[in-house]
């Protein structure tokens, strides 16, 4: 058994939306394929992956460094003999040969994207859905029913409160019970008006989360906290710079409700610093580490170990990114749920065809690997890269 090729193509996932920090007019993603010489159901096993929105495609790093480290490693060193499949942990170590610690930035996206494809291939070779393989290997019961929430509420040229309300209404119509909108890209007064408009629209049918995308300094984060705490929000997300743990810790004094952060922390060491210094509260706050941006699932397993050491349940994790990889982690490892972008980043985000949101949850279909084969628009572009 061996990996015979690793391919990457950088694809646009552009849209005119804007959060408090960036617009998405030039956003891209790396689509990767890890081609094996294993055949299952009459077809060569190919593992696929892509990185989530917010960071750009990583074609340079993947093609110049990480691809060759996989292809040049002795094939037998990348195999898990006892399970008769690939060994993602050893492949991860091969990719990270001659990489110094620290400085987790674009590298973690490149490695994460490849790691996802490797887990997809590993589970396909084992002939199981990834969430079942993960549950088995960690000795827990898989739970195919996963909480999902609808993320959107972006700033958009010409978008007024009625368009924002209509957007949120459409998420409720599609079965969601929690919706999310952006803040911090307008004045506090304007954001307050937008929030009140959405709350009036969703009433008691759903809860609202708000996301500042790391925009605020301490003073602004506190001013928003004082405004936001009047409302029964699902969470207040990424108020300040993701690496400003002191800001996050100080905010707890002004915001008793749930807060969320972590989508821009890309390693278990960064996650550990957040838990050490960020004042996050394990009884109510949420952690949003996204495996596709942060060295993949091999690293996510280490992050979950860190959580355990600090007294956090995996159920406090609702990853950023809206992709099927995190759905599998949620179903297999007992996370609290996953993000979803009902109208954005297609064909990469979302669920396999036929999966519907009901009362804020989806049920994972029993598809081998991550389940990309069940999403027809996505598997089409994946098979164009390698089949």
74-113: which residues touch ligand OAA (CB under 6 A)?
none
Pairing of strands 207-211, 235-237: parallel
Give the residue with the Cβ less far from ligand OAA, 122 or 338: 338
Residue 212 CB, shortest distance to ligand OAA, in Å, is: 9
133 close to 122: Cβ distance less than 8 angstroms: yes
CA distance 292 to 332: 16
Among ligand OAA, Mg ion, none, residue 270 binds (CB under 5-8 Å by kind): none
User: Is residue 167 at the binding interface for ligand OAA, with CB under 6 A as the rule?
Assistant: no
- Tell me the CA distances in angstroms from 324 to 57, 258, 270, one per residue in order: 18, 25, 24
Compute CA distances 156 → 164, 186, 324, whole Å: 10, 12, 26
CB of 229 to ligand OAA, least distance (A): 20
Residue 30 touches ligand OAA, criterion: CB under 6 A: no
Q: Which of residues 231-270 bind ligand OAA (CB under 6 A)?
A: 263
Binding residue (CB under 6 A) for ligand OAA from 3, 6, 8, 19: 19
**Residues numbered 306-335 forming contacts with ligand OAA, rule: CB under 6 A:** 320
The conformation of residue 23, written as its DSSP 8-state character, comes to B
Q: Name which of 211 and 244 has its Cβ closer to Mg ion.
A: 211
Q: Is residue 211 part of the contact set for Mg ion (CB under 5 A)? A: yes
Distance CA 216, CA 241 (A): 7
Measured from the CB atom, the residue of 263 and 373 that comes closer to Mg ion is 263
Q: Which of 211, 244, 299, 373 binds ligand OAA (CB under 6 A)?
A: 211
20 binds, among ligand OAA, Mg ion, none (CB under 5 to 8 A by kind): none
Q: Which of 167, 270, 339, 373 binds ligand OAA (CB under 6 A)?
A: 339
CB atoms within 10 A of CB 172: 16
Catalytic residues: 182, 320
Query: Binding to ligand OAA by residue 151, rule CB under 6 A?
Result: yes
What phi-psi label fits residue 98: left (phi over 0), alpha (psi between -120 and 50 degrees) or beta? Answer: left
- List, as residue ranges, the binding site for substrate: 19, 53, 100, 154, 180, 237, 263, 320
Angle (deg, nearest 10), helices 106-126 and 88-95:
150
Which CB atom, from 19 or from 122, has the smaller least distance to Mg ion? Answer: 19
CA distance readout (Å), 362 to 216, 235, 298, 369, 370: 34, 21, 25, 18, 15
Q: Which is nearer to ligand OAA, 11 or 40 (CB)?
A: 11
**Segment holding 90, helix H or strand E:** helix 88-95
Q: Give the tokens for residue 341.
A: 């972008």
Interaction site with Mg ion (CB under 5 A): 211
Interaction site with ligand OAA (CB under 6 A): 19, 54, 151, 211, 213, 263, 320, 339
């Amino acid at each position: 058994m061996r990996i015979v090729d690793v391919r990457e193509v950088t694809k646009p996932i552009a849209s005119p939306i804007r959060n408090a920090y960036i617009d998405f007019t030039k956003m891209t993603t790396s689509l990767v394929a890890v081609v094996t010489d294993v055949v299952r159901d009459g077809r060569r096993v190919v593992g696929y992956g892509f990185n989530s929105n917010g960071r750009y495609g990583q074609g340079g790093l993947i093609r110049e460094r990480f691809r060759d480290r996989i292809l040049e490693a002795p094939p037998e060193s990348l195999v898990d003999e006892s399970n008769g499949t690939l060994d993602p942990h050893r492949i991860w170590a091969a990719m990270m040969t001659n990489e110094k610690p620290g400085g987790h930035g674009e590298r973690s996206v490149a490695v994460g994207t490849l790691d996802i494809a490797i887990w997809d291939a590993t589970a396909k070779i084992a002939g199981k859905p990834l969430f079942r393989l993960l549950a088995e290997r960690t000795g827990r019961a898989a739970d195919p029913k996963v909480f999902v929430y609808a993320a959107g509420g972006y700033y958009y040229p010409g978008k007024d409160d009625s368009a924002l309300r209509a957007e949120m209404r459409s998420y409720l119509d599609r079965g969601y019970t929690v919706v999310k909108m952006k803040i911090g890209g307008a004045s506090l007064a304007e954001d307050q008006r937008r929030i009140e408009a959405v709350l009036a629209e969703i009433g008691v049918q759903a809860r609202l989360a708000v996301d500042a995308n790391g925009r605020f300094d301490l003073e602004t984060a506190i001013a928003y906290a004082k405004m936001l705490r009047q409302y029964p929000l699902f969470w207040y997300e990424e108020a300040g710079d993701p690496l400003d743990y002191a800001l996050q810790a100080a905010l707890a004094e002004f915001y008793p409700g749930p807060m969320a952060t972590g989508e821009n922390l890309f390693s278990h060491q960064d996650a550990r610093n957040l838990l050490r210094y960020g004042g996050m509260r394990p009884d109510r706050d949420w952690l949003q580490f996204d495996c596709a941006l942060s060295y993949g699932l091999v690293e996510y397993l280490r992050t979950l170990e860190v959580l355990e050491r600090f007294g956090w349940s995996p159920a406090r994790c609702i990853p950023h990114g809206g992709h099927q990889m995190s759905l599998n982690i949620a179903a297999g490892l007992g996370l609290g749920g996953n993000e979803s972008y009902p109208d954005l980043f297609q064909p990469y985000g979302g669920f396999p065809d036929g999966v519907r949101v009901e009362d804020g949850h989806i049920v994972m279909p029993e598809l081998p690997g991550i389940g990309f084969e069940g999403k027809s628009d996505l598997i089409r572009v994946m098979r164009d890269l390698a089949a």
